[in-house]
Amino acid sequence: MTAKKKKSEMINLTIDGRKVQAKPGWTILETARFNHIHIPTLCFHPAVKPWGSCRLCVVETRYGKRGQIAPSCLIHPVHQLEVFTDSERVKNVRRWVLEMLLAECPASREIKELAAQYGITSTRFHITDPKEECLKCGLCVAVCHEVVGVQALTFGSRGVKKQLETPYRIPNSACIGCGCCVSVCPTGALQARLDTVRGDLSRRTGHGFAH
């Protein structure tokens, strides 16, 4: 591939009325952040592949006459795309998302603060567990697999019963106790739960490999 062709590959788009350029492969979120345009996220972490579970990073995209609301962490821009990160339509979706998250993890300080920024202080959805902090964004699962290289954490059950847990709900000997899951958790829910994953560390060290 020649250098000349590469140059012409820059994609021109506008984000909130600002003209910006993006290279193929960049997502809208990455392009926006690089241009100091803030988009709130919960389940996005640069260390792992984005998978758009929290739906907070949604933006409104318009291309000619067509337009849609889409998660900015997953979609790649095209030429002449118009992106709105803070339009009324976007805000409305975010408010819905936050209201649902407030019901999902009512104990989380981070979610409450974020919701308050959008004017949400209460939720109309059913609260199953008032002490829940985990929003099941899956960052911990992804980081454990993609960054650490082990699979100590998984999602158990499905649908509304989905829970973050270890296989058989017992401490997993695959866990190396690195705490990466705790570090990436957007609500800090894993800090209290780490012991259910790693178990008693002293039991697992002192394996007597010496002579």
Partner 1 sequence: MKTGQALIPSGPEPRLGIFLCECGEEIAPKVDLAALARTLAPAPRVEHVEILPFSCLAPGLDRVREAITRKELNRIIVAGCESRILHKKFDRALAALGVEEEEIDLVNLRDYVARVHQGAPGELAGKGAKLIRASQAWLETLKPAPRLRIDYQGPVLVLGGGIAGYGAAQELAEQGVETIIALHRDQEEEIRRAHSIYPGDDHCFDRLASIIQRVTASPLVRTVRVGELKQVSGRFSDYTVTFTAPKGEEIVEYQAGAIIAALDWEVAHQFPEFGHDGDRVICQVEMNEFIRDGRPLIDRIVFWINDMEAGQPFAAHLSLEGAWNMATLLREKWPETRVSILYDGSLAIPFGTFDRARARQLGIALIPYNGKVRPLVKSEYISFNQKNIQTEQDLGWDLLVLSPRRNPGAQALGTAKILGLEVKEEEFLERYPQMVRPDQVVLDEKLIVGSACQPCDLRGALSQGRRVAKKTAVLVKKAQAGELYAPRVISTVDQDKCSVCTLCREICDCLAIQPVSGPVEGLGHNVPRMVDPMLCTGEGTCVASCPELALTLENCTLAQHEARVTALARSLAADEVMGFGCQWSGAAAADQAGLRGLAYDRRFYLLPVRCLGQIDPVVMAWAFLEGANGLLLIGCNPEECHHSYGIDHTWSRVWVLRKLLDLCGLERERIALAHSDITKPEGFVGTVESFLKTLDTLGPIPREAETQSKLQALYDTLHVYRVRWVLGVSLRRPWETSYPMHMPNPVAYDRTLTEIVGEEFFRARVRNLLRVKGKSLLLQDITQALGVEEERARDYLKDMGQEGLISIVFINRTLYYGLPFGPQ
Q: How many CB atoms lie within 10 A of CB 166?
A: 21
Closest CA to 24 of 8, 41, 1: 8
Name the residue nearer to partner 1 (CB basis): 122 or 205.
Answer: 205
Name the residue nearer to partner 1 (CB basis): 22 or 134.
Answer: 22
Helix, strand, or coil here: 83?
A: strand
Q: Rule CB under 8 A: which residues touch partner 1? A: 22-23, 25-27, 30-31, 33-36, 38, 45-47, 143, 147-150, 173-174, 176-180, 182-184, 188, 191-192, 194-195, 201-202, 204-211
Distance in Å, CB of 64 to partner 1, minimum? 26
Name the residue nearer to partner 1 (CB basis): 127 or 201.
Answer: 201
Distance in Å, CB of 205 to partner 1, minimum? 6
Q: Where are the alpha helices (DSSP H) in the chain?
A: 3-8, 28-34, 88-104, 109-117, 139-143, 180-184, 189-198, 201-204
Name the residue nearer to partner 1 (CB basis): 42 or 99.
Answer: 42
Residue 140: HSE in the Cβ half-sphere, 13 Å Cα cutoff? 29
Distance in Å, CB of 32 to partner 1, minimum? 10
Distance in Å, CB of 116 to partner 1, minimum? 16
Name the residue nearer to partner 1 (CB basis): 67 or 188.
Answer: 188
Distance in Å, CB of 200 to partner 1, minimum? 9
CA distances from 76 to 42, 54, 101, 130 (A): 19, 18, 26, 37
